[in-house]
A and B are shown apart, each in its own frame.
Chain A
Amino acid sequence: GESVGLHLPTLSVQEGDNSIINCAYSNSASDYFIWYKQESGKGPQFIIDIRSNMDKRQGQRVTVLLNKTVKHLSLQIAATQPGDSAVYFCAETHYTGNQFYFGTGTSLTVIP
Chain B
Amino acid sequence: DAMVIQNPRYQVTQFGKPVTLSCSQTLNHNVMYWYQQKSSQAPKLLFHYYDKDFNNEADTPDNFQSRRPNTSFCFLDIRSPGLGDAAMYLCATSSGTGDYEQYFGPGTRLTVT
To the question of whether A and B form a pair in one complex, the answer is yes
> Which of A's residues lie within 8 Å of B, judged by CB?
1, 32, 34, 41-46, 49, 89, 93, 95, 98-105
Write the chain A residue with the least CB distance to B59: A1
- Whether the pair A34, B57 counts as a contact (CB closer than 8 A) is no
A31: nearest chain-B partner, CB-CB: B100
B50 in contact (CB, < 8 A): yes
Complex Cα gap A60–B101 (Å)? 17
Separation of A95 and B94 alpha carbons in the complex (Å): 13
Distance A44 CA – B92 CA, assembled complex (angstroms):
9
Query: Which of the residues A45, A49, A104, A105 comes within 8 Å of B100, measured between beta carbons?
Result: A49
Tell me, yes or no, whether B112 is within 8 Å of chain A by CB: no
- B104→A98 contact, CB < 8 A: no
In the complex, the answer to whether B90 meets A44 with C-beta atoms within 8 Å is: yes
Chain B: interface size category:
20 to 34
Contact A101 B45 (CB under 8 A): yes
Q: Do B42 and A105 touch across chains, with their CB atoms under 8 A apart? A: yes
B97-112 near A? 1/0 per residue, CB < 8 Å: 0001111111100000
In the complex, what distance in Å separates the CA atom of A105 from the CA atom of B40? 8
Are B106 and A42 in touch, CB under 8 angstroms?
yes
The reply to whether A42 and B107 contact each other, CB–CB distance below 8 Å, is yes
B70 within 8 A of partner (CB): no
If the complex has contacts A34-B102, A49-B101, are A103 and B33 also in contact, measured as CB distance less than 8 A? no
A89 and B107 CA atoms in complex are apart in Å by 16
Contacts A/B (CB < 8 Å), 21 sampled: A1-B44, A1-B58, A32-B100, A41-B107, A42-B106, A43-B90, A44-B90, A44-B104, A46-B101, A49-B100, A49-B101, A89-B42, A98-B33, A98-B48, A98-B96, A100-B45, A100-B102, A102-B35, A104-B41, A105-B40, A105-B42
Chain A residues, Cβ within 8 Å of B105: 43
**A98 partner, pick from B41, B44, B59, B94, beta carbons under 8 A:** B94
Using Cβ atoms and an 8 Å threshold, which residues of chain A touch B96?
98
- Residue B55 CB within 8 A of the other chain: yes
Is there a chain A Cβ closer than 8 Å to B31's Cβ? Answer: yes
CB of B38 to closest CB in A, whole Å: 11
Query: Quick check: A102 and B100 within 8 Å, CB to CB?
Result: no
